[in-house]
């Protein structure tokens, strides 16, 4: 909990510095495009009447479905690649090629295949996260000390016991690190993928305000999506500390 508190304090410090820079920049530019933070915070209560929680719900639903699908497919695939040379020789070139491809470039194809509603948006989030999951799981399993396997085998453990007591605990730290990075990327691309074929979501909320030249509301949406991203980051930290109590704080940075 001390580490979580430290992260929150760091976030607040950064948030304060950013607001100071924002304030100076708004007075220097003297334009409606960069309103004063005082104007934005003074109207912040209006986000609740705008149904901001509904927009947050739709965005988080898309992210969590994409994350769930990524874990369901990515974890077994990563384990299979680590334990099977044939599977690795076949799948690794596909992962190696697909990993660096900008996933937002696939949005037109995703919309053609899965429509302009949630399907295409979840697909892009899935493609962003699944490669991170596969690579982190594969690398974690490959780096497991062979002596740990011998300990379980000599105790009469089978394949299930090896995966449960050796493989899964070994992959969790790096897996969650990858998930934290992927969640940040997923939140950042919401403004792009939710700009098409939907009426709800944080990305839609920001783009809709921008299209109506309502810059105050646009900045409020940016602030909200930033807080949502930070909340997801902290939630991932709390979860990994509950699942991996043996890790020290500096191993989770």
184, two tokens = 């940040």
> Residue-wise pLDDT tens for the chain (253 aa)?
566 667 677 778 888 888 899 889 888 888 888 888 888 888 888 888 888 899 999 999 999 999 999 999 998 998 888 888 888 888 888 888 888 888 888 888 888 888 888 888 999 999 988 988 898 888 888 887 777 777 777 776 667 777 777 777 778 877 888 888 888 888 888 888 888 778 889 989 999 889 888 889 999 999 898 888 888 888 877 777 777 666 555 444 4
Question: In 3D, which of 141, 143, 107, 112 has the Cα closest to residue 126?
Answer: 107
For 99, the 3-state DSSP assignment is coil
Secondary structure letter of residue 195 according to DSSP: T
C-alpha span between 52 and 56 (Å, rounded): 6
Question: Is 173:183 a contact under the CB 8 Å cutoff?
Answer: no
Q: CA triplet 112, 129, 194: central angle to 5 degrees?
A: 45
């Amino acid at each position: 909990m001390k580490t979580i508190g430290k992260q929150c304090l760091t976030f607040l410090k950064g948030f304060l510095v950013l607001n100071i820079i924002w304030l100076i920049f708004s007075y220097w530019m003297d334009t409606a495009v960069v309103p004063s933070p005082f104007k934005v915070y003074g109207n912040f209560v209006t986000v609740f009447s705008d149904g901001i929680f509904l927009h947050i719900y739709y965005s988080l639903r898309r992210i969590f479905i994409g994350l769930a699908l990524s874990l369901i497919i990515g974890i077994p695939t990563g384990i299979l690649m680590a334990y099977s040379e044939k599977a690795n020789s076949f799948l690794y070139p596909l992962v190696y090629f697909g990993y660096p491809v900008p996933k937002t470039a696939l949005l037109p194809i995703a919309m053609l295949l899965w429509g302009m509603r949630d399907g295409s948006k979840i697909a892009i989030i899935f493609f962003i996260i699944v490669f991170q999951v596969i690579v982190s799981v594969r690398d974690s399993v490959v780096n497991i000390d062979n002596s740990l396997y011998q300990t379980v085998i000599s105790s009469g453990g089978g394949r299930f016991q090896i995966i449960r007591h050796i493989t899964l605990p070994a992959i969790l730290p790096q897996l969650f690190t990858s998930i934290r990075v992927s969640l940040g990327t997923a939140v950042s691309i919401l403004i792009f993928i939710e700009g098409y074929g939907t009426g709800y979501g944080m990305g839609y909320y920001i783009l809709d305000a921008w299209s109506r030249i309502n810059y105050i509301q646009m900045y409020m949406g940016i602030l909200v999506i930033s807080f949502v991203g930070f909340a997801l980051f902290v939630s991932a930290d709390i979860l990994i500390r509950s699942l991996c109590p043996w890790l020290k704080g500096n191993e989770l940075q």
